[in-house]
Amino acid sequence: MKICPVCKSEKISMLAGGITGMYECMNCGYRGSLIIEEQSKKKQKNEG
């Protein structure tokens, strides 16, 4: 999922259908290409 770097909200939507690569936060109104991507599913470590 994508998270706003300012308010940590998950309500992020792409501007102009993602053509510009810009995102907008519906919570605080942040606009920019910098967003936090976080995996909803945590992968288990399989070392060895």
By CB under 5 A, tell whether 4 contacts Zn ion.
Answer: yes
22 belongs to the binding site for Zn ion (CB under 5 A): no
Assess 30 for contact with Zn ion (CB under 5 A): yes
Asked if 28 touches Zn ion (CB under 5 A), the answer is yes
Contacts with Zn ion by CB under 5 A: the residue count is 8
Say if CB 11 and CB 1 are below 8 A apart: no
Q: What is the DSSP string of 1-48?
A: -EE-TTT--S-EEEGGGGTS--EEETTT--EES--EE--SSPPPP---
- Site of interaction with Zn ion (CB under 5 A): 4, 6-7, 9, 25, 27-28, 30
